[in-house]
Amino acid sequence: MNAPHRRGACPGLSAPMPTGDGLLVRLMPAEPIPLEKFIAICAAARQYGNGTVEVTARGSLQVRGLTPSSAPQFASAVAALDISAIEGVPVIADPLPDDAAAVIDAANLAAAVRRAIADARLALAAKVSVVIDSGSHLHLDALAADVRLRASGQRLHVALGGDAASATPLGSITPDTAAAAVIRLLGVIAQHGPTARAADVLCEDGIAVFRSAVDSYISAAPDLRPRPPAATIGRHPRRNGSVALGVALAFGHAHADALCGLARIAATLGVRSIRPAPGRALLLIGAAPDDATALATAADDLGFVVRADDPRRSIVACPGKPACAFGLIAARALAAEVAPHLPPRSGTIHISGCAKGCAHPAAAALTVVGTERGCGIVHDGSARAVPHRHVAPADVVAEIVRIAIPSSEAVHG
């Protein structure tokens, strides 16, 4: 087994990352995971780690609490399951390829792009990524990526260096040229050094260097219209008449026992597979429409989020202290205290254990960040911003409620 990864690299099965509660590993499935294999992953997380399983904002599975001796055992247990996982440069397709609204087969296209990248052997920064969006309801507009492909009609719109709102449009290509075009675009990034990102190249050289690299593939295209945010939680019809039910992990984590329990109940209601999805969610795939309500009720009883307006969805929280070695406040514990006081559909509240802001790098309506002086309060900014003021950890819940809710609407629990 390799040495633990440095901070900033991706903590794969063979290169775990040290954290406050042991070693952490990450697995990004390339396709839905059969229920029995998902249960086996959770059982291994309990046996070899501390039982904490996370789904990240980009739809990866993370397992915490491994040790130098147990991490190789966990990796071997997962390898024996023969799960198709994304390795190397993340090429992310929308999580439900048979969504009734999908325009292209993004999963197969993503697989072809991954093969092309592996063959090209480009030296790229660890965080470089590609998004391939089929045009389904569960789109990937919120995910930032160096190269973005979005299906529209018979072509793929290409944009660089950001999420759907911030990326720089380049034009459109045909699906059959997608793999070659992506390689050329990534090649431009690689030429600028092993730490370069698309946004860096755009700032330094502009769009022209990318356009010239794919001149034989690219055509001018009108800008795409913004779409409503993807709503992962809830029912999603599939082409075969069954549904995928989206549920979320409260604050992005759950215990392996709860996940095993959910999977076993799902199996009795026709679910065949589970897919981690962007937004710290899970898709339970294959239930009959008539069974979806019973499945949602079971998930709710186990503590999962089954309503889009659940106040817990308004809070983004990292593990914080003591799970993270950098954490200065117990971020998730604070989030659990705050959530019952919030009304549905509150503005985004980010509770960060430190100024790194790993769970939510962007600005939030309200950010609470752990500092040596206590809990820093930031309005309309990120965890890296200078706090407007500080409050003691014992007072932070009341302070968040005071800021987030007008006094006449506060819920006292």
CATH of domain 17-87+232-308: 3.90.480.10
Give the C-alpha distances (Å, rounded to integers) separating 294 from 234, 236, 252, 261, 270.
13, 15, 23, 14, 11
Give the C-alpha distances (Å, rounded to integers) separating 86 from 27, 58, 114, 118.
8, 12, 8, 11
**Residue 293: how many other CB atoms lie within 10 Å:** 13
Q: pLDDT value at position 159?
A: 98
CATH of domain 96-213: 3.30.413.10
**Residue 400: how many other CB atoms lie within 10 Å:** 24
Residue from 166, 173, 167, 101 nearest 139 by CA: 101
Q: pLDDT value at position 404?
A: 81
How far, in Å, CA of 20 to CA of 41, rounded?
A: 22
Question: Strand ranges (DSSP E) for 212-280?
Answer: 234-237, 243-248, 253-255, 273-277
Amino acid letter, residue 202 = L
Exposed e or buried b for every residue in 50-88, given b needs 16+ CB within 10 A? bbbbbbbbbbbbbbbbbeeebbbebbebbeeeebebbee
Burial class (CB in 10 A: 0-12, 13-18, 19+), 411: exposed
> Domain 312-404's class?
alpha beta
pTM exceeding the 0.85 threshold for the entire prediction:
yes
How far, in Å, CA of 154 to CA of 133, rounded?
A: 13
Q: pLDDT value at position 14?
A: 83
Enumerate the domain spans of the chain: 17-87+232-308, 96-213, 312-404
**Same CATH fold assignment for domains 96-213 and 312-404:** yes
Q: pLDDT value at position 9?
A: 57
How far, in Å, CA of 392 to CA of 399, rounded?
A: 10
Q: Residues 312, 281: contact at Cβ < 8 Å?
A: no
Maximal C-alpha separation, the chain: 63
**pLDDT, mean of each 10-residue run, the chain (413 residues):** 48 89 95 97 98 96 97 96 93 90 92 96 96 94 97 95 97 97 98 97 97 97 92 94 96 97 97 96 97 98 96 94 92 94 87 94 94 94 95 91 65 40
Q: pLDDT value at position 177?
A: 97
Give the pairing of strands 22-27 and 253-255.
unpaired
Q: pLDDT value at position 408?
A: 36
How far, in Å, CA of 181 to CA of 256, rounded?
A: 41
How far, in Å, CA of 218 to CA of 177, rounded?
A: 9
